[in-house]
Chains A and B, each alone.
Chain A
Amino acid sequence: MSEQSLAGVSSRFARSTTDETSVVERGSAATETKRDDPHGAVTVEEVVLSAELAGAEGQAATADVAEYALWLGDDALILSQQLGAWIARAPELEEDVALANIALDLLGHARSLLRYAGSYDGRSEDDLAYWRDEPEFRCAWLFEQPNGDFAQTIARQLAASAYLFELYTRLQRSDDATLAAIAAKAVKEVEYHRDHAVQWTLRLAGGTDESRRRMVRAVGDVWPYVDELFRDEPLIDRLEGVAVRPSTLRAPFDAVIDAVFREAELEVPAGPVSSAGGRGGSHFPTLGYLLAEMQVLARQHPGATW
């Protein structure tokens, strides 16, 4: 298996979060299988990814459905890549593990959504992740906001997970069976992410003067990019019953945020709103650097395995 594929990235997350014991146990189990195998060297040939996508099952019906899956898949992929950068840098060991776990869930969502998006025109999840340039990405600016300090990451997590929870809750009832299945699985996971973000928001806002100062600043820095999530683009009009209309998510999102902010004694910033433009391929200046880091290996050494 190519370790530079998204599948390889999942395994790497797993290794970084799996304790030593299970790694050792896995290693010895593999050796045992080999030794006990009466058939000697059995080779498992994995069919190349593009061939797997050729099946009619789970194929995106129209270009519009594929585009919608791409929007959601890019949001998950970029947020996952950002959170991965916290591993070994979080304020405490448990947070390394927590952010890595959240990133891993998001990478799972991204893989399912990008695979589905690519099924329309025969591209693989790796083609979409590694071989598109910045203007071809469709993520919203909130997900592109830099990690900043831990407070900024938490403010971004709070907005992102509250939005994703409301989105996936409704997308479970999509007329599109594949999107509904991905959403039904994802909603349980993002609920846990939301819980994590809420707890840290309360802790930082109610902690020391320094943690509160940083949390207030972080919310102010992140909030201009919240508005974009709830804009109804023309694509949504063409996907009645399939896509969730973003504007319908605003009220339930605000209700959750209001409750959390009331408890944390924070205020929703009243400042200017960013025009953003991620769905149309215009991106926040830092996205290019993030993509460069994410894509360099796949582009420098196409097909590399180790």
Chain B
Amino acid sequence: MKYMLLIYSDESDPRSAGSPEDMAGHVALAREAISHAAYVTCDALQQTPAATTVRVRNGEAVITDGPFAETKEVLGGYYVLDCKDLDEAIAYAAKIPPAKHGAIEIRPIMEIPGWDEMIGLTSPAPAAR
């Protein structure tokens, strides 16, 4: 089953900026997941001052600066890993460097028949923009 591992940390904590040791930890984790055919994808997000939240009400888009919710720890990145069970997902989560000062939320991904086709992921990869 695929799991999303959401990385939350306090942006005001200097440890959340990502040290060279943390980067090495991410590379080691990704390589381990790749060697077990568990790696699907991962991304790092720009910090929350760059976030924009959009809501459509009465047909009008209402745009606010900042993330959806004001929380002390905020989403900074994520992994998607294909794990045999939740225990394996927890073992990977514990190896994500910010787990040492932040929190990793693990969310199972729904397997929806035909989903990839529905959202166009099975069509040829378009050229980079």
Partners in one complex: no
> B residues touching A (Cβ–Cβ < 8 Å)?
none
> A residues touching B (Cβ–Cβ < 8 Å)?
none
